[in-house]
Structure 1
Amino acid sequence: MRFAPFIAGAFTAASAVLAKTVQYDWTLSWVNANPDELYDRSVVGVNGAWPLPAIQGKVGDRVIVNITNNLGQPTSIHFHGLYQNGTNEMDGPVMVTQCPVPDGSNFIYNFTLDQVGSYWYHSHWKAQYVNGLRGPLLIYDDDEPFKDEYDEDIYLTMSDWYHDEANWLVKNEFLTLKNPTGAEPIPDAGLLNDTQNLQWVVKPDTTYKIRIINIGGFVSQYIWFEGHDFEIVEVDGIYVENQKASMLYVTVAQRYTILLKTKSSTSENFPFMVSFDLNMLDNLPDTLNYNTTGWITYDTEGDFPDAAIIDEFDFYDDFYLVPVDKEETWEADTTVTATVVMDNLGDGANYAFFNNITYVAPKVPTLLSVLSAPENDSVNAYIYGSNTNAHVFEYGEVVEIVINNGDTGTHPFHLHGHAFQVIERSNASDSDDDFIVYDASNPGIRNEYPMRRDTLYLRPNGYFVIRFKADNPGVWFFHCHIEWHLEQGLAMVLVEAPLQIRERITIPDDHWEACKVGGYSYEGNAAANTQNYFDLTGEKVQPNALPAGFTARGIVALVFSCVSAFLGMGFLTWYGLSELKTTQHEVAQIMGEIPLDDESGESK
């Protein structure tokens, strides 16, 4: 049996003497790793090592992350859950707030920590973070409300793991004609602190503060500790009133901080478990172990028992958590309503939509469009593109977002730049014929003091209602944090207080340089038009619609017909494919995998 230690938050003991500027100099390159001891593969390492280091600091600290990109492909880093108030340009999502960092280039992220709690960082270029470019980000607080209730501060990451490189999966297995149903790639394993068989050596009669962070790319997971209950004290950086629980349901990108007290006796070791939400998987390969086990270890020489089989997942519903500050419900000034749908377009691939629009990145990062546009034009959502799902809000508005789920899947949605109030969340519906749609005239259950967080899951065929204050000028991404669904286009862009953005945001020289070296436009509207911001000619848009009457089932039949063509059915193949107007070559251009054709029609 191979053991790995639980990771301690050693920063606490040294926090009083830590400098106010915390600098990380990182060279990103490929290294080999085999965390599940089943398959050796290349992963994104930092300074030649993987797993990646935790970023740690205290409130008020300045953090500098200086990266050198030696990956042979672009990259970026997003600091998940940080509001980046006044530093929107450091948020990280490619073509939202910055151009991708080109291979061979340096790039600096520089911001001040003005929050507390548990966060993480990850690449925000395509599906790159699924290849290992992700790690914890911990902010320590001398004034936390439960500071006298624990003895040690540690963190625990959970994740799904793939043996194949993520971008290869997207191009060859997922977003392709041969996967018309949009079935997500099935993980090969689950990991705890980027390993398996994790041994957490504990002291008796000791209360541990455990920061639980799901850094995976797809699957929500249940977590429980046999023989031990715990108290929830923080979610996504928001302190909550202590809540007893025995199990959590943690979607990708969510964080929970819990207090767990160990037993007095050291005579027995206990398993703790994380388990995939199997409802999210289209199939269960025989090789997949969807349970990952660690052990609360009182005696390193003792037995390590198998986990008990449980009949149901009885987890605490985060909707009922109460923030310590007990903010009452904010009254909405404006509402954005969107329906999630997964469907096929003319290339035969399956895409994700908000109100029939699948997100396609513009030619110019939206933040740079805000800064370069004439002032009167910057407040008009039209200039930010037909396929960005852009919405513009005035400074100080309370924005309500209503998401109706026209899909049978679970979707964890993340809002950059904010924690939002969770106003309502419906139950799931197992039937497409019983699609639950939000009705403002007939509201569901609401709490006096709504729970706040930055990542919330939408139940199958259900809805949720959230609200946030537009008091943080910037361009903020709102998207499903299942990385495969983001690749499918399940995202919108919120342009918050564009006039104030223009007053407060300054773009550093290395950010401009990244655009120039990478060959990206850095001024103009979504089509890079600097002369007329309302002329979107040449913008990047979604593939054409399917021919009338075509369905995913029909595409599957078509694919098999194509295979049969090799046995002599050439005419049928030509006839079937003639109606698919958007080619895979064009899709690759739209998704940014190859440059767009120039005016002559030749590929660059």
Structure 2
Amino acid sequence: MSAECFDCPSVVEDCYLEGCNAVDGSVRPAVSTNTQIPGPSIQVCHGDTVRVRLINELVDHSGLTIHWYGMHQIGTNWMDGASMITQCPVPQSSSFVYKFIANPAGTHWWHAHSGYQRDDGMFGSLIVKQPKEAEQNSNEYDVDVAENVIMLLDWSSRPAISVFLMTQSPSRYIDTSKQTFSMLVNGRAISKIPYTGDTNDYYTPLSTFEVDEGLAYRFRLISGVFGWCNMHVSVESHPLTIIALDGYEVMPTEVDSLVVAPGERVDFVLKATAYPSSYCIYFYGTDTSNCTDNGAAMLVYKNQSFGNKICTSTESSNIKSTFSLFDTHALEPLDPQMSISDEKYVISLTSHHSPIVSNDGRISTDGRIPSYQIDNVVFSYPSSPFLTPNLRSFETCSPNGNMLGYASCSSNECRCTNVLKLKQGQIVDFFVINKDSVSHSMHLHGNSFRILALDSVEDITHWTSDKLANVRQTPPELAVIKDTVNVPAHGYAIIRLLLNNPGYWITSPTSMQTIYGMSPAF
């Protein structure tokens, strides 16, 4: 909680003061953008030229970049914001102007792309709107307002790098119970704040969304979660109608709940047809992910008070149906040339945990150092960005074209600047095999793709490209279009894309694995 919050939450009005970041009531260093967590919501029209000046005023002298998540950056590869891939980090006390065309339309976001700054609070929404007559699902809703953007972030009472050091490389002398974990919804989470000598219960307020009875509202949900956390989302007494995924329209599908993985965006319509009152919006971790806590927000009908209602429960007894990608289909017509692929590539996702060994040969029982691999190698960032004259000052590798040469790396950590070279204009299928015990939400910069297949199996480590080619696939013309795919633990994804945007693009997880090596370029 920032100093600008004054007497929040004992004086609840103070929690809404300008400059107040109440979060979950914890006090810790954070990275705010224009004094806000999340940062400003950038809302523009499709085709607009967007100019953003980034001024680095971080007190720890860290470098900064911003990735414009979902923007294709056609002809502006150098504006993608991938640190040490397309640009150098902006030094402290310096500035940099990003300029790009807002394309494609839909629900997108922006975030710091250096170190742990995103999980420390530097992120925000980027909404690219188009006229309702240009949307196929515009008749599904009455209201689409800036206030109905929902952004999620996992939050701790310690800085993100500190959390990593305690959880990934723990010491027996650190008491992890001394910190709190929360799921922030638009920068807020409920937490009981004790006051010396005061026996009253005071809670930091939740984010609230106001609706008029009888109207249908478009909500734009964005997961900025940094950890391995897939969030189950539901609204008390209200079904949800899914109308877009990662900004791309899909056939409207009504469900009771949905699951959103890190980096994913889901647009849904909520019809305010329940009894006028206040209702809980629940965000809780799925059984197949490692979420540190659950979250909540409130849906309030106008002229209704939520009184003393507290949304802390994660009960889901009334949930009957959860959304799946294969419950719907894309509405955008298929480019005829994408009916058949020209090339197929198998991409493997694995993790490696190195033991902590003392100089006298003892192996620590307190933890192991993690690294995450694509095609058996940990990605090493180059000494200068690819888009610089010094390209030849560092070496690259291509393990995907030499799997036998890198086979030993699955048990012995190998590092290199992994680059997969692809031919412009080709149609490519990627068979992504996740051999890890956690799901990996993978984002492709500067491009989108169709998801042909997605599943989890028991013996994935023995699967080959021939076996993957024979699994049941959605016809390309029906396959949903996304820029992020959550590859399940011990599972696979088959995606198809048209290589029509030349440049250096990074394929990265949208969570902490990016920092620990799972980020090849192509």
- Same fold, TM-score > 0.5, yes or no: yes
**Aligned: 1:300 with 2:304:** yes
How far has the Cα of 1:233 moved from its partner? Answer: 1.0
Paired residue for 1:309?
315
Other-structure match for 1:253: 263
Does residue 114 (structure 1) correspond to residue 88 (structure 2)? The answer is no
CA RMSD, aligned part only?
3.2
- Quote the residue 2:55 is aligned against: 68
CA deviations over 1:106-164 (Å, ceiling 9, x no partner): 11111111321000000000121001000000011002222243222121112211221
Do the aligned partners of residues 428 and 226 (structure 1) sit closer, same or farther apart at CA in structure 2, a change above 3 Å counting? Answer: farther
| Paired residue secondary structure (1:401) | strand
Preserved CA contact (<8 Å) 2:396 2:416: no
Structure 1 residue 486 corresponds to structure 2 residue 486: no
Matched ranges for 1:53-452 at <5 A: 53-71=40-58, 72-142=61-131, 143-153=134-144, 154-170=148-164, 172-173=165-166, 176=169, 188-196=181-189, 197-218=206-227, 219-263=229-273, 265-266=275-276, 268-281=277-290, 289-302=293-306, 304=309, 307=313, 309-311=315-317, 314-327=321-334, 330-345=339-354, 349-368=369-388, 387-429=416-458, 439-448=467-476, 449-452=478-481
Once the two structures are superposed, residues 182-226 of structure 1 have per-residue CA deviations (whole angstroms, 9 ceiling, x without a partner) of x9xx97001111113222221000110111111121211010112
8 A Cα contact 1:379 1:392, kept in partner = no
8 A Cα contact 1:358 1:490, kept in partner: yes
**Deviation digits for residues 72-106 of structure 1 (CA, Å, limit 9, x no counterpart):** 21111000011001000000111111111111111
What code does the residue aligned with 2:518 have?
L
Q: Secondary structure at the match of 2:420?
A: strand
Separation in 1, partners of 2:330, 2:395: 36
Counterpart amino acid of residue 280 in structure 2? P
Q: 2:135 is matched by which residue type in structure 1?
A: E
SS in structure 1 opposite 2:388? helix
- Does the 8 A contact of 1:269 with 1:295 survive in 2? yes
Secondary structure class of the residue paired with 1:232: strand
Q: CA deviation at 1:265?
A: 4.1
2:456 is aligned with what amino acid?
N
Q: Percent same amino acid at aligned positions?
A: 22
Say which structure is richer in helix: 1
The count of residues paired between Structure 1 and Structure 2 equals 449
Given the superposition, is the C-alpha separation of residues 325 and 316 from structure 1 closer, same or farther in structure 2, using an over 3 Å criterion? Answer: same
The one-letter code sitting in structure 2 at the alignment partner of 1:102 is: P
| CA shift in 2, pair 1:321/1:435, >3 Å | farther
Q: For residues 318 and 74 of structure 1, what CA distance do their matches in structure 2 show?
A: 37
Q: Kindly state the Cα deviation for residue 424 of structure 1 after the two structures are TM-superposed.
A: 1.2
Structure 2 distance, partners of 1:419, 1:113, is 15
- Partners of 2:28 and 2:230 lie apart in 1 by 24
Choose 331-340 or 457-466, whichever is displaced more: 331-340
What amino acid maps onto 2:436 in structure 1? Answer: D
Aligned-pair distance for 1:42?
2.2
Q: Distance in 2 between matches of 1:67 and 1:223?
A: 33
Structure 2 equivalent of residue 24 of structure 1: none
Asked whether the 8 Å contact 2:398–2:419 carries over to 1, the reply is: yes
Q: Report the Cα offset of residue 290 of structure 1.
A: 2.3
Alignment TM-score, normalising by the size of structure 1: 0.68
CA distance in 1, matches of 2:37, 2:102: 25
* Gap regions ≥5 residues in structure 1: 8-30, 283-287, 495-604
User: Is 1:36 matched with 2:40?
Assistant: no
Which amino acid counterpart does residue 36 of structure 1 have in structure 2? D
* 152 and 450 in structure 1: CA distance in 2 versus 1, 3 angstrom threshold: same
Q: CA deviation at 1:350?
A: 1.7
Does the CA-based 8 Å contact 2:37-2:122 persist in structure 1? no
What displacement does 1:401 show?
1.4
Deviations 1:356-389 (A, max 9, x none): 20111011212326x8569xx999969xx97122
Distance 1:189 1:168, change over 3 A: same
Using the alignment, how far apart are the partners of 1:230 and 1:150 within structure 2? Answer: 12
Distance change >3 Å, CA 359–CA 209, structure 1 → 2: same
Structure 2 unaligned segments of length 5 or more: list them.
1-8, 190-205, 357-367, 400-413
Partner SS for 1:253: coil
Q: CA deviation at 1:295?
A: 3.2
Answer yes or no: is the 8 Å Cα contact 1:3–1:198 preserved in 2: no
**Match of 1:558?**
none
C-alpha separation in 2, matches of 1:3 and 1:112: 41
CA distance in structure 2 between the partners assigned to 1:104 and 1:433 by the alignment = 49
Aligned residue type for 1:101: V
- Which amino acid in the other structure matches residue 253 of structure 2? Q
Find out whether 1:47 has 2:21 as its counterpart.
Answer: no
Deviation digits for residues 373-418 of structure 1 (CA, Å, limit 9, x no counterpart): 69xx999969xx9712211111101122111111111111110011
Give the conservation status (yes or no) of the 8 Å contact 2:154–2:226.
yes
Distance 1:454 1:289, change over 3 A: closer
Cα separation, 2, equivalents of 1:338 and 1:399: 12
